[in-house]
Amino acid sequence: MNPADVAQGVVAPVNAAGFSFIELFMQASIVVKIVMTGLGLASVWSWAIIFEKLLAFRRARVESDRFEQLFWSGQSLDELYANLSRGRTITMAALFVAAMREWKRSVEGNIRALGGIQLRVEKVMDVTISREMERLDRRLLFLATVGSTAPFVGLFGTVWGIMTSFQSIAVSKNTSLAVVAPGIAEALFATALGLMAAIPAVVFYNKFSADSSAISQRLYAFSDEFAAIVSRQIDVRT
């Protein structure tokens, strides 16, 4: 037998049954269509968040590395503050600018209680760290939600599709594959969409959580180092 005829005989029934993704969606029941549409939208929005966070965390790392080089280069802190305060700063630079701003306000205001200056600077740095981490972690909860719920939503579509297939068998009183296959294919397609939405969301949520933890540790480490510098300056002034 000619192999080409065998291949054509295998592919023809599949094409005749209309098992393309679009036709599977169009032939699905309204409930399965809603499930597929929701999973598709969740997947698109998840990828939008993923690309946005990839750029945001990369920029945070680059800006932190650049600031650390400037900070430990021996440049005057007042000069560094003057240069950075002119523009918009993020992560470590934003932490430094906020702390220096509070330091200058306190010192230039001739505050006698120098011990309170360090407490205020530390509070300002804590608030800045919280604000920066909140900005980086924004919308990560959506990835976690998609990663944990999308498989179950797809499973719901699968169960509903299989129920529809059994109803088709009962109505037609025919258990042939031609009757059962379309409904089962629609059901499995819903499961596939759920996994397509969940797997990237889980993978990148874990990655971004690790990146966020690393940046948070760097910010707290710099906060402790700058608090030590402020403490030394207070000791010199007293």
Q: 126-152 pLDDT, tens per residue?
A: 999 999 999 999 999 999 999 999 999
Q: 101-132 pLDDT, tens per residue?
A: 998 888 776 656 666 888 889 999 999 999 99
Domain boundaries, the chain: 29-237
Q: How far is CA 177 from CA 13, 19, 138, 144, 172, in A?
A: 11, 14, 48, 38, 12
**Alpha-helix residue ranges (DSSP H) falling in 72-176:** 77-84, 91-108, 114-137, 140-172
Q: 55-109 pLDDT, tens per residue?
A: 999 999 999 999 999 998 888 888 999 999 888 888 999 999 999 999 888 877 6
Q: Look over the chain and give the mean of its residue pLDDT values, rounded to a whole number.
A: 84
- 106 in Cβ contact with 117 (< 8 Å): yes
The secondary structure element, H or E, covering residue 207 is: helix 177-237
Structure confidence at residue 14 as a pLDDT band (50, 70, 90)? very low
Cα separation of 84 and 97, whole Å? 7
DSSP letters for 45-91: HHHHHHHHHHHHHHHHHHHHHHHHHHHTTT--HHHHHHHHTTS---H
Of residues 8 and 51, more confidence is placed in 51
What are the tokens at 55? 């750029």
- 215 in Cβ contact with 56 (< 8 Å): no
Q: 15-52 pLDDT, tens per residue?
A: 444 457 677 777 777 888 888 899 999 999 999 999 99
How much is the average pLDDT of 146-170? 85
pLDDT of amino acid 179: 64
Q: Which of 115, 114, 59, 69 has its CA nearest to residue 96?
A: 69
Cα separation of 28 and 23, whole Å? 8
Please, how many CA atoms are within 13 Å of residue 131, restricted to the half-sphere of its CB? 13
Q: 211-227 pLDDT, tens per residue?
A: 999 999 999 999 999 99
Cα separation of 89 and 75, whole Å? 18
Angle between helical axes of 177-237 and 114-137 (0-180°, round to 10): 170
What are the tokens at 5? 């005829």
Q: Which of 134, 133, 153 has its CA nearest to residue 31?
A: 153
CB neighbour list of residue 160: distance below 8 Å, 6 or more residues apart: 29, 31, 32, 35, 187, 190
Cα separation of 42 and 198, whole Å? 9
